[in-house]
Amino acid sequence: MKYRLPAEWEPQSAVQLSFPHPDTDWANVLEEVMPCFVAIAESVARFEKVLIVSSQPNETARLLSHIPANRLQIVECPSNDTWARDHGGITVQKTDGSGQFEIINFVFNGWGLKFPADKDNQITETLHRKGVFRAPIRHGGLVLEGGGIESNGEGVLLTTAECMLSPNRNPHLTESEIVYHLQQSFGVKNVILLRNGYLEGDDTDSHIDTLARFCTPDTIAYVQCNQPNDPHFEALQKMEAELLALKGFRCVPLPWPDACYDDSGQRLPATYANFLIINGAVLVPTYEVPQDEAAIQVFKNLFPDREIIGIPCRPLILQHGSLHCVTMQYPEGVVA
């Protein structure tokens, strides 16, 4: 059976969020980060359904009581953490003319065995068992996270070698075998494997959704570091050169935000590439830095037909992820 991996801008039925709770790494900053999750849920619910995975459904329902019932679905489910992009199911569409969708349930192992993921790895199966999905699910046969791949919807997949070739993900496979699996799973003809690019403080081994994203089938927005004294400068200059060398793509640089640090002085992975496209809008992470306004303007130019909504995400990067990392979209017709 042949498949295609829909682009994020195609019509959606819902966006999944896995809400934080006291048994996650958010415990010490729960009051600080919860408004960020609520803001994302509110913004999504203006345009489509928001699907909430929660281990505390009554408390979550109280926090989201102002969202219309027909735009909110809360499912009780245990979780280790909140990164729905990486433990969520990835939806593909059959290309046999039926238009039917399937959800691939890949293995999530905490970004190469860095963090516990036993509960998160069960979430997609639990949602399926509880009747959340109209589409069937199947096992993906690989360790793979949604944040590690970008689809233009027309047969091109963008990813990074650092993530895909990580020895703690699929060590039994060679690079060519991994590329073959990606081609077979997602029906893509061209797998672009970037060899450069990283963000300090990132736990994911350079997920592509922190670095470069498709905005249209032939437009890529990417993080550009133009500060020679910044430790990211060399790697991101090399990544930029890789992207600009691609044939048939327009590459648009995103502003480089001022460095953000936690209380211990560790640099945090702030990136405007971690935006989320939903029905009729684009949610853009902001970090309380001067570049936020310029980033919003870039997205207005990139998506002139969609509302651009800034979401304050400074608290999110305390755990080394951002807006796109905590969400997973499902195409129209997939969520019941």
β-pairing verdict for 212-216 and 190-194: unpaired
pTM for this model (two decimals): 0.97
Amino acid identity for residue 128 in this structure:
H
- Domains of the chain plus CATH, in order, are 3-331 (3.75.10.10)
Using 50, 70 and 90 to split pLDDT, how confident is the model at 88? Answer: very high
The single-letter DSSP state of residue 114 is: T
Using 50, 70 and 90 to split pLDDT, how confident is the model at 57? Answer: very high
Nearby residues of 322 by Cβ (< 8 Å), 6 or more positions away: 210, 269, 270, 271, 274, 285, 313, 316
Summarize pLDDT for 191-243 with one digit per residue, the tens: 999 999 999 999 999 999 999 999 999 999 999 999 999 999 999 999 999 99
CA distances from 22 to 77, 195, 303, 316 (A): 14, 38, 37, 15
Amino acid identity for residue 223 in this structure:
V
Summarize pLDDT for 114-128 with one digit per residue, the tens: 999 999 999 999 999
Residue 51: helix, strand or coil by DSSP?
Answer: strand
Nearest Cα to Cα of residue 153 among 189, 127, 195: 189
Summarize pLDDT for 255-286 with one digit per residue, the tens: 999 999 999 999 999 999 999 999 999 999 99
- What pLDDT is recorded for position 133? 98
- Determine the Cα–Cα distance for residues 292 and 256; give it in Å rounded to an integer: 10
Q: Is the pLDDT of residue 1 over 80?
A: no
Helix runs in 196-288, H state only? 233-244
Return the HEC string of 144-193.
CCHHHCEECCCCEEEEEHHHHCCCCCCCCCCHHHHHHHHHHHHCCCEEEE
Integer-rounded Cα radius of gyration of the chain: 18
- What pLDDT is recorded for position 324? 98
C-beta separation of 188 from 156 below 8 A: yes
